[in-house]
Amino acid sequence: MFARILSTLMAFLTAAMFALATPAIAGDAASGAKIFSANCAACHAGGNNVVNGAKTLKKDALEKYEMNSIDAITYQVNNGKNAMPAFKGRLTDAQIDDVATYVLSQSEAGW
Per-residue model confidence as pLDDT tens digits over 58-111: 999 999 999 999 999 999 999 999 999 999 999 999 999 999 999 999 999 999
Q: Confirm whether 29 is domain-assigned.
A: yes
- Cα-to-chain-centroid distance, residue 107: 10
Q: Confirm whether 58 is domain-assigned.
A: yes
Q: Confirm whether 55 is domain-assigned.
A: yes
Binding site annotation covers 84? yes
Please give the mean pLDDT across all residues of the chain.
85
Query: Measured in Å, how far apart are the chain's first and last C-alpha atoms?
Result: 55
Q: Confirm whether 44 is domain-assigned.
A: yes
- pTM for the predicted model, two decimal places: 0.77
Binding site annotation covers 67? no
pLDDT confidence of residue 18: 41
pLDDT confidence of residue 27: 94
CATH of the domain at 48: 1.10.760.10
Number of compact structural domains in the chain: 1
For the chain, give the longest Cα–Cα distance: 65
The parent domain of residue 105 ranges over 25-109
Binding site annotation covers 10? no
Q: Confirm whether 52 is domain-assigned.
A: yes
